[in-house]
Structure 1
């Protein structure tokens, strides 16, 4: 059974491990810990094993902004990112929800489009030659 719940501090090491599988290091441990402490980190489980997470905040013009959606590489293409987004959309503290991904990230762009997000803008100069596409949806 798959489910999404709010992360708690006992989930920290597993969430950081999943993040490190993707980025190759544990440099975001403090970011993950702060999100868990502030109840802004969601996890998705397969059976009782954490397979992905989502972190958001409400500092983007007082709207929810999904800053990270990470799924363990061995668990991708099974709908876990979509489950995290669905949960976020139904529990968002704000009506407007934004997120972003690099123009080169075809998989994430497809997830956003499938989940009903619309493109809302582009930010240049974050990653050289790979603009960030902003996505938007209301609940």
Structure 2
């Protein structure tokens, strides 16, 4: 069995994170966003002994509550509990009692991950992506 762990990303992880993001969304326009999150220690990675398999970026800019702004798992590491491990780890170390996140209504996989990890739907934001509302999820620490 391959040992997998969650830890804070460091600068040596940036290219791996950008590559995973590029593999998932098709480009690297979030490179600077990822780099800043790593430098500010707001990025967690999940890695095996062989490679980084995914990451989570968070902040406290959502009404002074913790907000998970991005969870990305490499396609080759999906459906192995990696997103759940990142969510659970972050909730355990979150600097606030309330943890929020969001996903598009169309993202069935992420909605299932949130619900499986005890997050409840807390609202909807329209007009971010045409015809695909953003669902806000919430969990109390």
Normalization by structure 1: what TM-score?
Answer: 0.98
**1:132 maps to what in 2?**
134
Secondary structure, counterpart of 2:59 in structure 1: strand
Of 11, 29, 40, the match for 1:9? 11
Structure 2 distance, partners of 1:112, 1:71, is 14
Deviates more, 1:105-114 or 1:41-50: 41-50
Of 97, 104, 108, the match for 2:99? 97
Give unmatched runs, 5+ long, in structure 2: none
**2:45 maps to what in 1?**
43
Structure 2 distance, partners of 1:7, 1:48, is 15
Structure 1 distance, partners of 2:68, 2:50, is 24
**2:55 maps to what in 1?**
53
Root-mean-square deviation over aligned CA pairs:
0.6
Deviation at 1:48, TM superposition (A): 3.5
**1:31 maps to what in 2?**
33
Whether 1:115 and 2:86 are equivalent positions in the alignment is no
Deviation at 1:93, TM superposition (A): 1.0
**1:65 maps to what in 2?**
67
CA deviation string 1:105-129 (max 9, x = no partner):
1110000000000100000011111
Q: Any residues of structure 2 matched to 1:77-88 within 5 Å, and which?
A: 77-88=79-90
Deviation at 1:19, TM superposition (A): 0.4
| Count of aligned pairs | 139
Deviation at 1:69, TM superposition (A): 0.1
